[in-house]
């Protein structure tokens, strides 16, 4: 089990204060359905079960999964599912994901959450650098954040000291929150075109966003859109914020009509 735990980068939490901080960040409601990837030894599972209507706890490690029902015998609203969360079918009813997830699977779990139509929010304990990078705290913005921004609010939650985890990881962690917006920031009919534009911009051809967009849009339109969004013409794509991308999209879209 130790080798599997190391391979999956599993670091468990036992501190009740830290577990409560995660719970406060998740802000579950009594009627919520909560899905937990990587339940481990069930410490967070127990806290979540007492705050929500129903829980589904996934655990890939067979030994840990076998012990979970006994550990959670007093939490009758939790269903333990041995197996890989990433292969699970997302619930069709509204649900939230909350978990202290294996670091090695962070990106895959985030993508699973973003692809789930009924997901309302995801509250995930990740490496601090991952959470900060995806929420623009380094001054740069990755493709996944920007392309999903009209539908999801990416929030940086509390920082968690590495010494609270067993085994102790090399870096601190943080709570990453993905919250589905009640209404997208763009009309739904425009979302595919927005995603296509952002994806085009992140191809990186030419060394600057102006040069990249200039391959498929007239240069004067690109310059005007960059000026409207207050983006320097020599700016690399990673320095362009999601809000600036919305302005770029509106101006390039309008210019084509």
- Give residue-wise pLDDT tens across range 71-124: 999 999 999 999 999 999 999 999 999 999 999 999 999 999 999 999 999 999
Residues 120 and 148 in one domain: yes
CATH number of the structural domain spanning residue 224: 1.10.8
- Is 1 a residue whose pLDDT tops 90? no
Task: Return left, alpha or beta for 173; rule: phi > 0 is left, psi -120 to 50 is alpha, else beta.
Answer: beta
Q: Are residue 213 and residue 89 in the same domain, yes or no?
A: no
Last residue in a domain, options 141, 162, 180: 180
Residue 6 lies in domain: 2-180
Which structure tokens are listed for 151? Answer: 């539908």
Cβ atoms of residues 109 and 86 within 8 Å: yes
Q: Which of 180, 198, 229 is the last residue of a domain?
A: 180
* pLDDT (tens digit per residue) in 141-183: 999 999 999 999 999 999 999 999 999 999 999 999 999 999 9
Query: Residue 11 sits in a domain of what CATH number?
Result: 3.40.50.150
Global pTM reads 0.92
Query: Does residue 241 sit in the same domain as residue 164?
Result: no
**Beta carbons within 8 Å of 149's beta carbon, 6+ residues apart:** 185, 242, 245, 246
Does residue 5 surpass a pLDDT of 50? no
Q: Are residues 167 and 230 in the same domain?
A: no
What is d(CA 46, CA 75) in angstroms, rounded to the nearest whole number?
Answer: 7
Please name which of 233, 188, 187, 228 lies closest in space to residue 206, comparing C-alpha atoms.
233
At which of 163, 180, 197 does a domain end? 180
Distances (CA, A) of 56 to 52, 102, 111, 134: 11, 17, 19, 27
């Amino acid at each position: 089990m130790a080798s599997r735990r190391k391979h999956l980068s599993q670091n468990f939490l036992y501190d009740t204060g830290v577990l409560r901080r995660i719970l406060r960040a998740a802000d579950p409601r009594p009627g919520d359905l909560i899905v937990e990837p990587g339940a481990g030894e069930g410490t967070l599972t127990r806290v979540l079960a007492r705050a929500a209507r129903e829980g589904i706890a996934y655990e890939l490690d067979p030994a840990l999964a076998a012990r979970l029902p006994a550990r959670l015998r007093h939490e009758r609203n939790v269903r333990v599912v041995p197996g890989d969360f990433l292969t699970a079918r997302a619930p069709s009813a509204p649900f939230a994901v909350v978990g202290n997830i294996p670091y090695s699977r962070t990106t895959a779990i985030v993508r699973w959450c973003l692809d789930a139509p009924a997901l309302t929010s995801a509250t995930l304990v990740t490496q601090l650098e991952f959470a900060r990078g995806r929420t623009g705290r380094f001054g740069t913005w990755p493709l996944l954040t920007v392309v999903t921004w009209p539908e999801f609010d990416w929030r940086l939650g509390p920082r968690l000291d590495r010494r609270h985890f067993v085994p102790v990881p090399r870096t601190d962690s943080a709570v990453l929150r993905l919250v589905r917006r009640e209404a997208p920031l763009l009309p739904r009919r425009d979302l595919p075109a927005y995603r296509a534009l952002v994806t085009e911009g992140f191809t990186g051809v030419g060394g600057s966003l102006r040069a990249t967009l200039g391959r498929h849009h007239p240069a004067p339109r690109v310059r005007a859109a960059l000026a409207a969004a207050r983006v320097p013409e020599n700016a690399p794509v990673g320095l362009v914020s999601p809000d600036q991308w919305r302005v770029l999209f509106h101006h390039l879209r309008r210019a084509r009509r």
